[in-house]
Amino acid sequence: MRQHGAFLVSQAAQAGATFDMRQRRIKSGAWLRLSPRVLALAGAPKTWRQHLMASVLEAGDGAVASHRSAAVLLDIPGFDEGWPETLKLRGRAHRERLSTMHETFWLPLHHTTVIDGIRCTSLARTVFDLASCAHPLRVERALDNSLARLGLSIDAVAEVVAAIGRSGKAGTTVMRDLLRARTEGYVPPDSELEALLIAVLRSHGLPAPVRQVDVGDEEWVGRIDFVYREAKVIIEADGRPYHIALLDQERDEARRARLEAEGWRVIVVKWRQLVDEPEIVARRIRHALGNLVAA
């Protein structure tokens, strides 16, 4: 069954079931009341997945299965069916009776997926969320199993850590330590580094810059990764290994001097900074933008 036999009272009403019809079916036992907002077909198998589906429905629009429940759906080894856990955006109030509810300030569509008809957090987001509720050794095993067996990529994990990791947020330190241990000397493709920067900007409420812009007033200086024209701010995403960056240092300094002479402020951002210090990166860019952000 598409929803494992569970459905919202509002879904039944939209399908034409009046209040009296619903009451008769509940009284006859054809429908079961799982919570004030959620019903189930009496003949549907009473499984853990039905309970989880009902929990997601009860939690409201945009809610997803999460944490240990998502780990089960995604087949991450070491996690068993248990009391459902769900996740929703902070401030969307519903009283939950069917699950343990977690809240988040950031849940973009690409942090979610659908398994067996149940919307849940993506593999990368689930591993990050597990760090807030599971022992670090279990989180480490979940990360390594997901990387080795389930197709998870370092880039996907880094994007989640950069986008929602915050100093003091449960699990952030654990995930940064695990990621650091697995990415010594890692150099991401340009596209992944740029995507990571965009994720940090969005999650911190900063406007999107213009991408890949030719810059130079008197003569062409270069093609720039990210530009805020109104604020005269340039962001360069640098993913080069240290030794290569050192060799290019004089050339880079000359190029930046030319840009600064034309009134540009140049901010260089490295992959490790985006993963370990996204708040500091965002603060630097916000300060540079000044009134552009305030407006």
* pLDDT tens-digit map of 124-156: 999 999 999 999 999 999 999 999 899 999 889
The count of C-alpha atoms lying within 13 angstroms of the C-alpha of 139, restricted to the half-sphere facing its C-beta, is: 25
pLDDT for 212 beyond 90: no
In words, the CATH class of domain 190-294 is alpha beta
Dmax (CA) for the chain in angstroms is: 82
Q: Is there a contact between 124 and 159 (Cβ–Cβ < 8 Å)?
A: yes
Residue ranges covered by each domain of the chain:
1-46, 64-182, 190-294
Q: Shortest CA distance to 33 belongs to which of 52, 57, 6? A: 6
Q: Can you read off the two tokens belonging to residue 232?
A: 């005269």
pLDDT in tens, 25-62: 999 999 999 999 999 999 999 999 999 999 999 999 99
Residue 26 CA to residue 23 CA, distance in Å, equals 5
pLDDT for 267 beyond 70: yes
DSSP code at position 144:
H
Residue 175 CA to residue 1 CA, distance in Å, equals 37
